[in-house]
């Protein structure tokens, strides 16, 4: 549109300025996940769920505790560094979504069910080095923070967010399902696990999660996703039937026992649910034990990161 006309130039310029201001306001309010270069390392407030205490610390200090909480001692520095990039990206995306200000008055929590693990007592010189060598680095897609999901072990193939997490929004464009080679370093109880639950135990666990179907009569898998993870199952009781996503069910029945939804056996019979499978975690994004193997084989942190997400960039937010 051409605004410079006789007697209309001033009005046109005013309209342009109003539009520009409106654009700036709406951009700031709706694009919080834009990765902007920062003048300095940010401070974040951390809610310690064990004590209820809130501490403010530098982001990089917090990340050292996260890497120490999420990975084991004596891992390769490159694996720690890849985890640091994921954890930093996760944190920035989490804060962009509002963090936990409304719940705790803090940016983030040490509760693994709400955010990431944290263990400052397990920080080693190698972890400190890994965080420092990736200082300020985050993953971005289209200049926005990615949702940097990670888990312990993929079981040989990672999942999309919709399959692995039951993600309700459109699949993020940077998520990929990655097939990985056999991993010689994975503990046997992670590579091949099994567990069982009695009917009474299941009912108690489900009731604690708000699922009440009465006396359980059956639990059946209804759907599996492309990587054979459970995406829908039904719980049949004498007072009703409910369907849930596999990952949701796993959380209900203790995710440290039903370690993944990538199952080889799943049977409810004679009042007992028997489950066996491979992998540990939801299966989306970085697989930590596979990152371990890649680091052992000589991969760089950037190569590890880009194995699990596609079309992403690693940006440095601050020096």
Q: Residue length, the chain? A: 319
Tell me the pLDDT of the chain (319 aa) as tens digits.
322 223 332 323 222 322 333 222 222 334 667 878 888 999 999 999 999 999 999 999 999 999 999 999 999 999 999 999 999 999 999 999 899 999 999 999 999 889 999 999 999 999 999 999 999 999 999 999 999 999 999 999 999 999 999 999 999 999 999 999 999 999 999 999 999 999 999 999 999 999 989 999 999 999 999 999 999 999 999 999 999 999 999 999 999 999 999 999 999 999 999 999 999 999 999 999 999 999 999 999 999 999 999 999 999 999 9
Cα 50 to its chain centre, rounded Å, is 21
CA within 13 Å, CB half, 279: 28
Strand-pairing partners, residue 22, are none
Closest CA to 245 of 256, 234, 255: 234
pTM for the predicted model, two decimal places: 0.85
């Amino acid at each position: 549109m051409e605004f410079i006309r006789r007697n209309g130039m001033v009005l046109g310029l005013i309209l342009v300025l109003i539009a520009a201001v409106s654009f700036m306001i709406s951009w700031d309010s709706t694009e919080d996940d834009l990765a902007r270069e920062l003048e300095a390392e940010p401070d974040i407030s951390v809610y310690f769920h064990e004590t209820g205490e809130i501490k403010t610390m530098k982001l990089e200090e917090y990340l050292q505790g996260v890497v120490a909480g999420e990975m084991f001692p004596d891992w390769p520095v490159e694996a720690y560094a890849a985890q640091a990039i994921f954890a930093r990206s996760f944190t920035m995306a989490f804060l962009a979504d509002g963090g936990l200000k409304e719940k705790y008055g803090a940016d983030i929590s040490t509760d693994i069910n709400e955010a990431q693990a944290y263990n400052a007592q397990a920080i080693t010189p190698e972890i400190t080095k890994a965080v420092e060598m990736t200082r300020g680095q985050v993953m971005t897609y289209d200049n926005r923070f990615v949702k940097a999901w990670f888990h312990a072990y993929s079981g040989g193939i990672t999942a999309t967010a919709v399959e692995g997490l039951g993600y309700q929004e459109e699949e993020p464009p940077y998520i990929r399902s990655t097939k990985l080679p056999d991993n010689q370093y994975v503990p046997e109880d992670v590579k091949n696990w099994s567990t069982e639950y009695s009917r009474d135990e299941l009912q108690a666990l489900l009731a604690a999660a708000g699922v009440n179907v009465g006396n359980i009569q059956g639990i059946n898998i209804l759907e599996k996703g492309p990587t054979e993870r459970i995406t829908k199952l039904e719980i049949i009781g004498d007072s009703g039937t409910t369907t849930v996503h596999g990952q949701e069910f796993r959380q209900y029945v203790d995710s440290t026992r039903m370690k993944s939804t990538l199952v080889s056996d799943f049977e409810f019979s004679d009042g007992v649910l028997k489950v066996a499978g491979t992998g540990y975690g939801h299966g989306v994004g970085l697989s930590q034990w596979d990152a371990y193997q890649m680091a052992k084989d000589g991969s760089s942190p950037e190569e590890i990161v880009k194995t699990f997400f596609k079309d992403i960039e690693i940006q440095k937010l601050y020096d």
